[in-house]
């Protein structure tokens, strides 16, 4: 199916840059938003320098869009006030602009960090309660809640992707469970954008088919993509991957340590 016109927030970011290139061949037109200037590279791209905190600017940029891929926001642990403003309020502006413009599908970039405190020996499902490993995870849990609200109350079709460790190749032992390759990231995003309108709301982990993964793969009836890459193929190149993993330790690893968040709290 044709994706029509797709708006991408955070288009200049790490994932946005990869997805932008792939979607050029799948969408009729791309509307690219970021808070930093973006250079137009093909005839079917329109670029907008937009701060997601500016609701009117977001709505104006979405003019003509059929689908939205929302990647913008603060991508890691930060003071809660910054996360609420960029991630939660920014997502609200994206969803509200989509509602007002009659856009049929919104794909929200969530994070595996919403469940980082489940133990490493547990295979997590998106049906389980959230257990965020920090303030960033809390903000992404709120992003998912906003998506659910707009699906239930206003009839938007919303899919939340809990992004794994997006890297060109896995670089540390934890990545053997959490790696999301660029190829699989594009596959999940294309599947989410193209899912039938009957998918009113869904949440799934976007992770490669790693032998040691912590998370269930998405239900194929909701997200028709099967990942193809496996971090295990890179294990020999990563120091420490032969050491045993404590099955009771948090899936988040170092992100779950108190000091990871304490430095972002008021002294």
Q: Is the separation of the CB atoms in 178 and 213 below 8 Å?
A: yes
What's the average model confidence in pLDDT over 187-197?
Answer: 96
Share of the chain above pLDDT 90, in %: 95
Q: Is 263 exposed, middle or buried (0-12, 13-18, 19+ CB in 10 A)?
A: exposed
Domains of the chain: 5-262 (3.40.50.720)
Name the pTM for this structure: 0.97
What is the distance between the alpha carbons of residues 162 and 147, in angstroms, rounded to a whole number?
A: 13
Average pLDDT for 49-68: 98
DSSP per-residue codes, 40-52: --STTEEEEE--T
What local confidence, expressed as pLDDT, does residue 215 receive? 98
Mean confidence (pLDDT) of the chain: 97
Q: Which residues are catalytic?
A: 136
205 beta partners: 162
The two tokens of residue 138 are 């809390």
Residue-wise pLDDT for 120-174, tens only, equals: 999 999 999 999 999 999 999 999 999 999 999 999 999 999 999 999 999 999 9
């Amino acid at each position: 199916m044709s994706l029509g016109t797709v708006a991408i927030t955070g288009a200049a970011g790490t994932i946005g840059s990869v997805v932008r290139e792939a979607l050029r061949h799948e969408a009729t037109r791309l509307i690219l938003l970021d808070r930093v200037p973006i250079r137009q590279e093909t005839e079917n791209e329109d670029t907008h320098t937009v701060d997601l905190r500016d609701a009117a600017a977001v709505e104006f940029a979405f003019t003509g869009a059929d689908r939205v891929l929302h990647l913008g926001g603060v991508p890691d642990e930060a003071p809660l006030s910054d996360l609420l403003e960029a991630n939660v309020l920014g997502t609200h502006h994206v969803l509200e602009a989509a509602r007002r413009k009659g856009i049929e599908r919104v794909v929200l970039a969530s994070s595996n960090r919403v469940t980082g405190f489940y133990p490493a020996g547990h295979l997590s499902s998106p049906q389980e309660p959230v257990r965020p490993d920090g303030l960033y995870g809390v903000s992404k849990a709120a992003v998912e809640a906003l998506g659910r609200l707009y699906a239930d109350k206003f009839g938007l079709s919303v899919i939340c992707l809990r992004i794994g460790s997006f890297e060109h190749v896995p670089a540390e032992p934890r990545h053997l469970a959490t790696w999301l390759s660029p190829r699989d990231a594009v596959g999940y995003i294309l599947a989410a954008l193209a899912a039938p309108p009957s998918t009113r709301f869904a949440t799934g982990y976007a992770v490669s088919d790693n032998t040691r993964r912590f998370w269930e793969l998405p239900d194929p009836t909701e997200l028709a993509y099967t990942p193809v890459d496996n971090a295990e193929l890179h294990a020999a190149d990563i120091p420490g991957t032969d050491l045993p993993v404590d099955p009771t330790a948090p899936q988040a690893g170092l992100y779950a340590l108190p000091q990871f968040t304490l430095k972002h709290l008021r002294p």
